A and B are shown apart, each in its own frame.
Chain A
Amino acid sequence: MKETPLSNCERDFLLKAIQEKKRLDGRQTYDYRKLKIMFGTDFGCCFVELGKTRVMAQVSCELVAPKENRPNEGIMFFNIELSPMASPAFEQGRQSELSVKLNRQLERCLRNSKCIDLESLCVVSGEKVWQIRVDVHMLNHDGNLMDAASITAIASLCHFRRPDVGIQGDEVTVYSPDERDPIPLSIYHMPISVSFAFFQQGTYLLVDPCEREERVMDGLLMIAMNKHREICSIQSSGGIMLLKEQVMRCSKIASVKVSEITKLIMKALENDKTARKAGGKCGFAESMPQERITALKKDETAVEMTDVTERANDIVLNAEVPPQTSQSLLVPLPGMGQVGKDLQNSWGIEEYYQDEEEAFNSDEDKQTMMEVGEKQKVHEDVVEISDSEEDEVVILQPEATDRAHKKTSSSSHLKEPAKSKKRHRK
């Protein structure tokens, strides 16, 4: 099936919006979309959501004979699948130009940067080495497939464990996970690609372009970097001339983004590890937020709304400046990390929307609160909780409530409501 054509009206509007420094989803020029990393129940299975773009990767390994010119090195290769599920424009089983480009770029980013110690994958020199295969499946295409693919690939490689082998004489034994613990790959660094879209011959620059932005852009610059600020690969496409300063600026932005994403991946890995160690459930199904799709109709929750404004104003006046939490990573569920969910956007639509959700879906997981407005809501929630059978917070007089609020707001206002929330749910 053919791709939906882009109308002139969309093109004109997008370009006009970009000139006015606005983006379709309310992001700022240098903002990344919401990033979510989840791991499957198997080792080496990773699932990344970048806005609406979704990518899945699975790492597998096999014992094969090494290449003749490199008898002591393991083999690693990447396979990108663009299925029609991602976009009707993708065809099954045919190597399109895009998939070749992505594959090549991913190889340059991850293999040529020598981020994985291939020599440690050698079992018997010249005879048997591990072959690591990374299958990257695109599940939904909403722009910036390269960044999503590189994050997914490196996260799944970090998550992967290969079976242990033992050598007795000429005999090679592969131990099952029950006999011996599988071994993680040795990873030196984590290269992550960051894409920049250029418009109007490089006058305007956007980080993490979405699908429609990709279709109107003039040129693309992909910088793969690790957290030590070493550039692993850099590629410019679209045939635009870039100034030296622009490339420098892009690399600076990339270094910031890469360090954020690396932190997020580490956090997600750590979470998955603790969840596995605890023996609890882990995997996609567990990290899916519940009651998202079927949220069309919900029972109303009673929320105390009288004199909320005065109380809220009071709280706002007395509250301390909220700590800068935008960069902090937050893990709502085991085996998952996300960043940028509640970042302040340019006009507040998203915030209000989330606000609503919070007021109504009171059983939804709490996330980082950024705005004072959000904070008020949280305090309302606290009031609501105190109405219920909980006996931890007993409210007798309005003054007491206020004091209680001040207390909560002074002592890390982020954690406290969330915790009481959890208690309430139990």
Chain B
Amino acid sequence: MLSRLKAKVGSVLLPGDEFCLDTTGADTISLAGPSKANKVVCGPGLRRSGDRLLVYKSGLLRHKEPNMFWMDAQHKRYVPAKGETVIGIVTSKSGDVFKVDIGGSEQASLSYLAFEGATKRNRPNVQVGDLLFAQLIVANKDMEAELVCVDSAGRANGMGVFGAGGLLFRVSLGLARRLLAPQSDLRAELEQLFPCEMVVGMNGRLWVKSTGVQRTLVLANLLESCENLTPVQRRQLFGKLAQGAL
């Protein structure tokens, strides 16, 4: 089965496609049996059902060494996942927690103590409507999502309230992931255009700021249009912009 999965890496699969556990094959690994060295890890979009491996999202099959497989798809709706960093909007302050909209089906909660240097006396200055960059520490389907603005060492590490003077807008989750990828062409090309600040949340929210309203708007429009451009088209567009469309 492993070889068949590997053969399909990078190709388009649809919900309902399945891989059967073939016990006669030479390179068989068993999902049910005692764990061996090569265990297959199913990421989002793949699900085990008995001795079958089902695809339940349409998209491309991705693979990461040694045996991690998942489906890469275009999404617009965000489903919170533990450990992801997101951009949230504070909707209310109630007692000692803030309610934050992160684009999921429910609002997430954020304790006022989960900020760098916050104590019972020293409350962080967060207003309703502020933008927050935060990390999800609790995210499962049965419980309310929970955010923090500190890392495990108690440092802010880039998280917290931000967003004066920039523009927030939404893109698809795929584009947000593309921007966050370690070697992102898109980001590298953007960097060469003009100086800007950008915050990318895994929930598809994007915040950009550049010098002046015009440039910020150009940047936002550019990023929105990047959604459906091929790299060549994108490079041409960026090239034109760099040549002095501004």
Residues on A facing B (Cβ under 8 Å): 1-2, 4-13, 16-17, 20, 22, 24-26, 295-298, 300, 347-350, 352-353, 355-357, 359-360
Flag whether B164 is at the interface (Cβ < 8 A). Answer: yes
Q: Is the CB of B105 within 8 A of A1?
A: yes
| Closest residue of B by beta carbon distance from A347 | B218
B225 contact set on A, CB distance < 8 A:
349, 353
Q: Is the CB of B164 within 8 A of A9?
A: yes
Q: Mark B135-159, 1 if CB is under 8 A from A, else 0.
A: 0000000000000000000000000
Q: Is the CB of B131 within 8 A of A7?
A: yes
Q: Is the CB of B127 within 8 A of A22?
A: no
B228 contact set on A, CB distance < 8 A:
295-296
Q: Is the CB of B213 within 8 A of A13?
A: yes
Query: Contacts A12-B165, A26-B221, A296-B228; is A17 near B245 (CB within 8 Å)?
Result: no
A10 contact set on B, CB distance < 8 A:
167-168
B92 to chain A, nearest CB (A): 9
Q: Is the CB of A7 within 8 A of B129?
A: yes
| Closest residue of B by beta carbon distance from A25 | B221
Q: Is the CB of B165 within 8 A of A356?
A: no
Question: Which residue from B101, B130, B237 sits with its C-beta under 8 Å from A4?
Answer: B101
Q: Is the CB of B246 within 8 A of A347?
A: yes
A350 contact set on B, CB distance < 8 A:
221
Q: Is the CB of A7 within 8 A of B130?
A: yes
Q: Is the CB of A4 within 8 A of B103?
A: yes
Question: Which residue from A12, A26, A347, A360 sits with its C-beta under 8 Å from B245?
Answer: A347
Add 4 more A-B contacts to A7-B89, A9-B207, A357-B233 (CB < 8 A).
A7-B163, A8-B163, A9-B131, A356-B237
A296 contact set on B, CB distance < 8 A:
228, 230
Q: Is the CB of A353 within 8 A of B105?
A: no
Which parts of B201-246 form the interface with A (CB within 8 Å)? 207, 213-214, 216-218, 220-222, 225, 228-230, 232-233, 236-237, 240-241, 245-246
Q: Is the CB of A347 within 8 A of B237?
A: no
Flag whether B124 is at the interface (Cβ < 8 A). Answer: no
Q: Is the CB of A352 within 8 A of B237?
A: yes
Residues on B facing A (Cβ under 8 Å): 89, 91, 101, 103, 105, 107, 127, 129-131, 163-168, 207, 213-214, 216-218, 220-222, 225, 228-230, 232-233, 236-237, 240-241, 245-246
Question: Which residue from B107, B213, B240 sits with its C-beta under 8 Å from A352?
Answer: B240
B193 to chain A, nearest CB (A): 12
| Closest residue of B by beta carbon distance from A17 | B213
| Closest residue of B by beta carbon distance from A300 | B232
B164 contact set on A, CB distance < 8 A:
9, 12
B162 to chain A, nearest CB (A): 9
Nearest first, the 3 closest Cβ-Cβ pairs linking A and B are: A8-B129, A9-B163, A356-B233
* Bound-complex Cα distance A7 to B43 (A): 33
Q: Is the CB of B217 within 8 A of A17?
A: yes
* Bound-complex Cα distance A4 to B220 (A): 19
Query: Contacts A7-B129, A20-B213, A24-B217; is A356 near B229 (CB within 8 Å)?
Result: yes
Query: Contacts A22-B217, A296-B230; is A353 near B101 (CB within 8 Å)?
Result: no
Q: Is the CB of B230 within 8 A of A298?
A: yes
| Closest residue of A by beta carbon distance from B226 | A353
Q: Is the CB of A22 within 8 A of B221?
A: no
Q: Is the CB of B167 within 8 A of A13?
A: yes
B229 contact set on A, CB distance < 8 A:
356
Query: Contacts A296-B228, A360-B233; is A7 near B168 (CB within 8 Å)?
Result: yes
Q: Is the CB of B129 within 8 A of A6?
A: yes
* Bound-complex Cα distance A353 to B230 (A): 12
* Bound-complex Cα distance A11 to B127 (A): 14
B222 contact set on A, CB distance < 8 A:
349
A5 contact set on B, CB distance < 8 A:
89, 91, 101, 129
A24 contact set on B, CB distance < 8 A:
217, 220
Q: Is the CB of A11 within 8 A of B213?
A: no
B218 contact set on A, CB distance < 8 A:
347, 349
| Closest residue of B by beta carbon distance from A19 | B213
A8 contact set on B, CB distance < 8 A:
127, 129-131, 163
| Closest residue of B by beta carbon distance from A23 | B217
* Bound-complex Cα distance A23 to B118 (A): 39
* Bound-complex Cα distance A42 to B131 (A): 48
